[in-house]
Amino acid sequence: MKLLSFSPAVCLPVLLFLSAPVLAQDAPDAPPAQDAPERRVIPPLTLEERIVDLIEAIQDEAPETYRRMAELPREEALARVMRALDSGAVLVSSSANGKTTAAGPNVDVKPWPALELTGKKFLYLRFDGLTAQTVPEAVKSLDERGGKPDASGVIFDLRNAFYGDYSTVESLAESARKLKCPVMVLVSGKTSGMGELLAAVLRRDCGAVLIGTETAGSVFPVKRITVNDVAWFVPNPPAKYSGISPYALKPDLEKTSEARLDYDQLKESPDKLDGDPVLRLAADLLTMKAAVRPVELSPSPAQ
């Protein structure tokens, strides 16, 4: 369930005029028994009170999210509030408040060593997850290539990168920023979480070209915030990624294909890419980029 894609950053006077469906935990009170003593009924929280409480909780628990919300145009902020409320909520114990989670099952992600493709022209890095086991060797390979001006290109295959640790993204990004060659990133609908974040950072900082299909749309970890016994799942972006959008990434070049070469097959025949149209396109683009690379002319000798 997706709630609050950087929802309310709103002016409270305007919120007082909002109307929306009743939240999940609201239910009509059971009629009192006829012989029950008269008791004082505490009225339920109004919609406006719930919204105000939610905004205050986001401000306290996820300040970077609140900062982003505050920068939204008023109309867009109000629309997102209403979409969030329409999507419902989950009743939880207040003990769950503040828990930050990263989407992804508890699985063992296998590291794939870097490969040199098509005559050792291109460095190919495949990730099924970004973890302490899969990232260090990739960083080493990137660092070895980073200072080579004649390097032809690097391909990040993130089509199945959906699991791992968000702290690993920056180490990969830092090494990628040192590259002096074009970068291609393969993405798909399975690219989510830290895989999406890495793709977005590579596009922003390295001018990477994204190839494939639109990503899952869960770039950041979420923080569960409990307000009035209702859980709201709020994106919780690190401040250093303030320029990264929380939405799904649209590829620069759309290439729809589920075909993906087996890693062992690719390792055995690194020049045969036709069984993987998305990878083939990335390699072809790098070949063309290498062919038209500008040449630095030497200064002409003095007359």
Backbone torsions φ then ψ of 267, nearest 5 degrees: -65, -40
Q: Kindly give the residue spans of alpha helices, DSSP state H, lying in the chain.
A: 12-15, 47-61, 63-70, 74-86, 135-146, 168-176, 194-206, 263-268, 277-291
Residues 162, 188 contacting (CB under 8 angstroms): no
Q: CB–CB of 159/187 below 8 Å?
A: yes
Tens of pLDDT, residue by residue over 143-170, are: 988 766 666 799 999 999 988 888 899 9
Which residues in 240-260 are b (16+ Cβ under 10 Å) and which e? ebeebbbebbebeeebeeeeb
Please write the tens of the pLDDT for every residue from 238-269.
778 878 888 899 999 999 988 999 999 999 99
Q: Are 138 and 115 in contact (CB under 8 A)?
A: no
Q: Which residue has the tokens 């006077």?
A: 13
Mean pLDDT of 33-41: 51
What domains can be seen in the chain, in order of their start residue?
A: 1-27+46-91 (no CATH), 115-220+240-291 (3.90.226.10)
Instruction: Describe the chain by its helix, strand, coil percentages, rounded to 5.
Output: 35, 15, 50
Reported pTM: 0.70
